[in-house]
Amino acid sequence: MVKRLLARAPSNIALLKYMGKARSDLNVPAHGSLSMTLQGLASYAEVTQSKGNEDRSVQDWPELLSSDERAACGLPLFSNPAKAQEKVLKHVALCREVLSGEAWAAVPTYGVEVRCVNGFPTGAGIASSASSLAAITLALAWSFAKDPDEFREAFSSQGSPLRAKLADLSRRGSGSSCRSFMGPWVEWNVSQEVSQLTSHDSPLRDLVDLVLVVDDQPKLVSSSDAHLRVTTSPLWNGRVQRAEDRLSQIRSALQQGSLESLAQLAWAEAWEMHSLFHTAQPPFSYWTGRTMELLQWFSHHQTDRRFPVLTLDAGPNIHLLARKADCLGWKERLQCAFPSLTFLSSESGAGAEVLRWTTA
């Protein structure tokens, strides 16, 4: 049995948003979504045997990563909020139940301890629940495996059925986490299939996400609440069809390598999602004055030939996706116009992976 196991899962940024659910209890989306996997912005989850029979979600993690691994993260580590602990324990119980039916797994009778940290500031506009839940699901499943080596083999390829199965299990903990199992571009459809969209030699496999961190305070409306509230907007009428149509246009833009089309489609999608928030009954907003200043600044540059892909999640921060050299150029211009603005950045990449384990 595995004694101590460490998994890593990247976050992701959606260009076609998962917003609105067909089944809230199971995180079944109202329509498909599509995201880029953020290789450099990841969560780490460790599973060990607990001292008692109870499962525990533990906040302290002084020895979670070795000093080399910390250096590789390039950042200090950040805890998940205390309220996330309850979500983690609920997910451990779900993983126990679902995986007990798998021939490769031996779900233990003893309790497990789960530690999870983020290699990026929690609340900085990057989906830490997506990367955390993906890392925890993989760490638990691997720690339950009768044969960790066989499990690794079965999980390793991007298209493997085991990877798809764990993505689906993770989805039940937090919908968008299912897209963190693959990369660089991942689609999640209404039939609950999660698939890697383009092959590694796609023309748009090497984009960088520059996150313009406007505000790093926890948001007042959680994404789970936002999913419920958007359906009260008059703009929800026809939204599912519009989202599916835009999804197929985004897929084509990616396959053709058209950054220009991608930028137009992502811009329209981000505005549509935030319009749903702004017209919900009652309305709500994630934007701050700085978000609006930045959006206005970008609107003056919209005729630039290399206008970047811009999107916003359920938060005030702006994600700018462009090729590496263009990203640096935009960063310099933004630093001149907004000297106090802070940034995070990540290249695209593949999905969740196990880093190391030790056995009894």
Which residues of this chain interact with ligand DP6, rule CB under 6 A? Answer: 14, 17-19, 27, 33, 127, 129-130, 174-176, 223-224, 227, 313-314
Closest CB to ligand DP6 belongs to which residue?
175
Distance of CA 260 to the CA centre of its chain: 24
Distance in Å, CB of 166 to ligand DP6, minimum: 16
Residue 234 preceded by cis peptide, ω within 30: no
Distance in Å, CB of 60 to ligand DP6, minimum: 25
Distance in Å, CB of 129 to ligand DP6, minimum: 5
Task: Decide whether 5 or 312 has the Cβ nearer to ligand DP6.
Answer: 312
Q: Residue 311: beta bridge partners?
A: 319
Task: Decide whether 248 or 335 has the Cβ nearer to ligand DP6.
Answer: 248
Task: Decide whether 49 or 231 has the Cβ nearer to ligand DP6.
Answer: 231
Distance of CA 174 to the CA centre of its chain: 9
User: Whose CA is closest to 346, among 71, 42, 121, 8?
Assistant: 42
Distance of CA 342 to the CA centre of its chain: 21
CA dist 345 and 208 (Å) reads 7
Distance in Å, CB of 259 to ligand DP6, minimum: 21
Task: Decide whether 208 or 273 has the Cβ nearer to ligand DP6.
Answer: 273
Distance in Å, CB of 240 to ligand DP6, minimum: 14
Distance in Å, CB of 168 to ligand DP6, minimum: 13
Tokens linked to 333: 């211009």
Place of tokens 């660089």: 184
Please, where are the H alpha helices in the chain?
Answer: 67-73, 84-99, 128-144, 148-156, 161-173, 223-229, 239-256, 259-278, 289-299, 324-337
Task: Decide whether 129 or 198 has the Cβ nearer to ligand DP6.
Answer: 129
User: Whose CA is closest to 139, among 10, 25, 5, 268?
Assistant: 5
Task: Decide whether 17 or 290 has the Cβ nearer to ligand DP6.
Answer: 17
Distances (CA, A) of 20 to 24, 131, 284: 9, 20, 15
Distance in Å, CB of 169 to ligand DP6, minimum: 13
Task: Decide whether 113 or 313 has the Cβ nearer to ligand DP6.
Answer: 313
